[in-house]
A and B are shown apart, each in its own frame.
Chain A
Amino acid sequence: MSKINQAPVLFPGARVPDRQRTVDSSGLRLAVYEWGDASAPPVLLAHGGFDFARTFDVFAPLLADGGYRVVSWDHRGHGNSEHADLYSWEADERDLLAVANSVSPGPFPVVGHSKGGGLFAHIIQALPHRFSRFASIDGLPFRQNLPDVANKERTIKLKDKAAKFLDDRRRSHDMTRRPGTVAELATRRAPMNPRLTDEWLQYIVYSGGYEAEDGWRWKIDPSLRMGGFGPWRSRWVTDRLPGFPIPLLALFGTESEPMGWGVDPEAIKKYMPSHAQVEILEGVGHFLHIEKPTLTAELVLNFLGREGA
């Protein structure tokens, strides 16, 4: 367990984790962070794809101040966790379990944003005895953002997508992240986070990036890429939502963003279990906990404090 130094750039409301440690997941080292009283009841947070745990630097302290030991980790290849040889959904879930096992035999509540929510939505169905409540922050995959095209055209798009993936894999062994100044790294990230301020994006460079001789680089594994292809279908999650085994809070924003699932909150409501609490935040995008941290934290704390369904 180690202390973390404050970033040289401050952001209003941001607080570095109180403790940092590592967890071994079948030989892979994962970076784990904690905010709040170590003896308080735990809640586990999972970040989204291409994010890292320190993007909870504002949101997590609000939960900690609400009386929780807040734990999060960097997914493999992200933040300070080791870069892996291979990446998959199932591997991320085993990593999640390794972290959960280091917290408590459970059950305890969990909060997931984006990909982190998708991981929880699946793993809770596999191991419902390990988790007590699930708050999803735009973390329920609904359907891919595919344009409405004819079958043949969709097949051609698959060929292009697959060829791009394979081209990248051929050169994945010598990929590196481009160096730059802190401001340049923030600017490069902006297209993924168009609703977040430059001040925030510069703040997270200090935890999600590192300074080398030729400048700053993001820590995320250069071999990781957006997109890819595979047989997975989001309806395998939504079709199972009516039978979701533990209390569920589903938060959505109304503003579409590049990193979002493209969920229509009204359309997904019919899949929700009767005990689900659905909250739609008007005028907010995919990163609800960063755009509206206080409101999001209040909704989550109220949910965690409620009696089970």
Chain B
Amino acid sequence: MNDIQFLTHGRIQLALHILCENSEGPALLLLHGLGENSPARLPDEYKNWPGPIYALDFTGHGQSTVPRAGGYTCEILIADVDVALASIGPATIVGRGLGGYIAVLIAGCRPELVKGVVIRDGTGLAGGGLGANSPYIGMPDVSQLITPPDPFAIVELATDVRPPDYVAEFVRLAGEFSELSRPISVAACERAPWLDAVVAEMGVEVSSLSEALKCYAEQSA
């Protein structure tokens, strides 16, 4: 089993899993998909990464705190990742599904701390569409004991809207302020309108996971 460090984000304790303790080399941070949690052991596909490897449980997932009565937004999950970056320092980020979407947003918010993003297929990648959906209020079943993943997270983050022009602004920020010529890599097959918008921006490459990791490891060395 891996070591876990708990980080404070507001009233939430976030579980940061230490999957590889290399003290030398650039850091890698893994973000899980909607309803998932961090891997208990380092997946083989990351074994060639030349530095420490961490994985973060988002609020309401894995071993992080389950908040009372929901209120999830992707912007709060960005702040989850930002709290992790404040602890581990600059890192390359690989995100599955929802984690991939969050990774793009944090790359725009903190271009000095994010040393490349890889978007992978995974749960919650598409989100709740473009934005002009019929009004809907998700009401999770809270009659049972709530355990991770928080049913409020599932309901609220599966329906959160992701306008392509909104995401594109964060990609442009990453392109403008990142030291990397290619701050974002797309290693996902699934396409959603927001991801199409990402792919269309400058500084974004469609590639395999291994190729993207190799690129960022070399550029961060």
User: A198 within 8 Å of B by Cβ?
Assistant: no
CB neighbours (8 Å) of B59 from chain A are 86
Evaluate contact between A26 and B82: CB separation under 8 angstroms: no
Let me know if A299 is at the binding interface, CB within 8 A: no
One digit per residue, 1 when the CB lies within 8 angstroms of any chain A CB and 0 when it does not, for chain B 68-81 equals 11111111101100
> Per a CB cutoff under 8 Å, which of B67, B74, B139 touches A86?
B67
Do A88 and B72 touch (CB < 8 A)? Answer: yes
**B108 pairs with A94, CB closer than 8 A:** no
How many chain B residues touch A (CB < 8 A): the figure is 48
A231 touches B163 (CB 8 A): yes
List, in ascending order, chain A residues with CB within 8 A of B82's CB: 166, 169-170
Please tell me if the beta carbons of A94 and B139 are within 8 angstroms of each other in the complex: yes
Interface contact tally, CB-CB below 8 A: 130
A243 to B73, CA, bound (A): 28
Residue numbers in A under 8 Å from B166 (CB-CB): 231
Residue of B nearest to A125 (CB): B135
- Taking a contact as CB atoms closer than 8 A, the residue among A94, A154, A172, A229 that contacts B75 in the complex is A229
User: At the interface, is chain A mostly helix, strand, loop or mixed?
Assistant: helix
Chain B interface SS verdict (over half): loop
Known A159-B177, A169-B10: A25·B69 in contact at CB below 8 Å: yes
Residues on the A chain within 8 Å of B154, using CB: none
Distance between Cα atoms of A95 and B139 in the complex (Å):
11
> Given A91-B69, A231-B161, are A155 and B173 neighbors across the interface (CB < 8 Å)?
yes
A85 to B9, CA, bound (A): 10
A119 CA to B74 CA, complexed, in Å: 20
Q: Provide the bound-state CA to CA distance between A156 and B55, in Å.
A: 30
Q: How far is the CB of A137 from chain B (nearest CB, A)?
A: 21
CB distance from A54 to the nearest CB of B (A): 22
User: Smallest distance from the beta carbon of B158 to chain A beta carbons, Å?
Assistant: 12
Q: Is the CB of A85 within 8 A of B65?
A: yes
A158 at the interface (CB under 8 A from B): yes
Digit string of B148-176 for contact with A (CB within 8 Å is 1, else 0)? 00001000100011110010011011001
List the A side residues contacting B8 at CB < 8 Å. 173
By a CB distance below 8 angstroms, the chain B residues around A154 are 169
| Docked-complex contact B142 and A26, CB < 8 angstroms | yes
With a CB–CB cut-off of 8 A, which chain B residues contact A85? 10-12, 65, 67-69, 71
A187–B212 Cα distance when bound, in Å, is: 55
Contact B83 A94 (CB under 8 A): no
Let me know if B221 is at the binding interface, CB within 8 A: no
Q: How far is the CB of A55 from chain B (nearest CB, A)?
A: 23
Query: B132 near A: Cβ within 8 Å?
Result: yes
CA distance A167 to B73 in the complex (A): 17
Determine if B110 and A166 form an interchain contact, defined as CB atoms under 8 angstroms apart: yes
Query: Is the Cβ of A26 less than 8 Å from the Cβ of B173?
Result: no
Contacts of A240 in B (CB 8 A): 135
Q: Which of B74, B108, B135 contacts A122 (CB under 8 A)?
A: B135
Cα–Cα, bound, A86→B157 (Å): 13
> In angstroms, how far is the closest chain B Cβ from the Cβ of A134?
14
Chain A residues within 8 Å of B, Cβ to Cβ:
25-28, 76, 84-88, 90-91, 93-95, 97, 122-123, 125-127, 154-156, 158-159, 162-163, 165-166, 169-170, 172-173, 223, 228-233, 236, 239-240
20 contacts between A and B (CB under 8 A): A25-B69, A26-B69, A27-B68, A85-B11, A85-B67, A86-B72, A88-B72, A122-B135, A155-B172, A158-B108, A158-B169, A159-B177, A163-B109, A163-B110, A165-B75, A166-B78, A169-B82, A173-B10, A173-B11, A233-B131
